[in-house]
Amino acid sequence: MTNNQLTESGRLKHFLTIEGLKRDLLTDIMDHAEQFSSLSGRQVKKVPLLRGKTIMNLFFENSTRTRTTFELAAKRLSADVLNLNINTSATSKGESLLDTLHNLQAMHADMFVVRHNKSGAAEFIAQHVAPHVSVINAGDGCHAHPTQAMLDMFTIRRHKQHFPDLCVAIVGDVLHSRVARSQIQALATLGVGEVRIIGPQTLLPADSQTLGVHVYHDMEKGLKDVDVIITLRLQIERMQGALLPSPQEYYESYGLTEEKLKLAKPDAIVMHPGPINRGVEIASSIADGPQSVILEQVTHGIAVRMAVMSMVLGSQSEQQDDST
């Protein structure tokens, strides 16, 4: 999969997963995002980098933040954007996914941004699109969410600067979280000193030890002296069977409260990929408090997705130039 993401010169052709990508490339994404982040303060928030390009958002799952920030990112790069409503598309009439893709390609799409409830869907689409079309994974099943991981890395870098000195704790439903998997891969690639995952055994992967993380089932031990706390949403829709006693009991044991936050370093930041379940994963006083950077994550999502889109379609232009 990793080889499929890159051009022969090592630039991004698709962005499907963090796995296998080099530190320099992840740093390059964040550096590009840094340049785009200043656009939000300007009166005119557009740049002409992708003028004439057509980007299609194919969301087979519900989304607010991800779809909206992808759309804003594309429009700020001056691309033409089409949001396909899957519920009213021809796929609801029995048309195959590949036939839908081929028809959209015939409309001269340059990029598909794909969210799907099946792991591997974005890679499947990338394998079947025309050579001139790029694919960005906006979340597939429990597998990966690479742009969310990169906006999280960008947010951490904005506050903490030097990754090797950090201890990062990821709390909650790691088992069903594509975000957590991508975060762990990105943190490892960027050389973070220690990554901890905290949660009940039923919500942590069976292969946790192979992920290069330290596993904790106790919040007091897991949060001690950490620099960054990432709380995760309970993925109720992906759970099979009774993995939790009740939301209230979960909150008592693993919800982030002011008392538990005091276990971390005084300048620790609190993150959440959203949507937030207040009073289940996190107290409102923390989500809205001075150590929370949750809304910053949303803002940074636009700049990071602009960076990825511009880098991917830039490599596409490079390939076209080489072939002429």
Per-residue pLDDT band for 1 (boundaries 50, 70, 90) equals: very low
56: CB partners within 8 A, 6+ apart: 81, 82, 83, 84, 104, 109, 111, 112, 113
Q: In 3-state terms, what secondary structure has residue 318?
A: helix
Find out if CATH 3.40.50.1370 is the number for domain 146-293.
yes
Pick the more confident residue, 90 or 154. 154
| Alpha helix ranges (H) inside the chain | 2-5, 23-37, 65-76, 97-105, 121-128, 146-160, 178-189, 219-222, 247-254, 258-261, 284-287, 294-323
> If you classify domain 2-144+299-323 with CATH, what class do you get?
alpha beta
Q: What is the pLDDT of residue 243?
A: 61
Q: What is the pLDDT of residue 92?
A: 57
**Rounded Cα–Cα distance for residues 299 and 19 (Å):** 25
Mean pLDDT of 293-305: 97
Look up the pTM and report it. Answer: 0.92
pLDDT (tens digit, 9 = 90+) per residue, 225-249? 999 999 999 876 555 554 666 888 8
- The residues with which 194 forms a beta bridge, in sequence order, are 167
Cis status of the peptide bond prior to 275, with omega within 30 of 0: yes
Which region among 62-71, 142-151, 310-319 has the lowest average model confidence (pLDDT)?
A: 310-319
pLDDT (tens digit, 9 = 90+) per residue, 102-119? 888 999 999 999 999 899
Residue 321 has pLDDT above 60, yes or no: no
Q: Is 194 left (phi over 0), alpha (psi -120 to 50) or beta?
A: beta
- The residues with which 12 forms a beta bridge, in sequence order, are 6
**Rounded Cα–Cα distance for residues 132 and 134 (Å):** 7
Sequence ranges of the chain with CATH classification 3.40.50.1370: 2-144+299-323, 146-293
pLDDT (tens digit, 9 = 90+) per residue, 202-222? 899 998 888 999 999 999 999
pLDDT (tens digit, 9 = 90+) per residue, 51-104? 999 999 999 888 889 999 999 999 999 999 999 877 655 565 567 888 888 888
Question: How much of the chain exceeds pLDDT 90, in percent?
Answer: 75
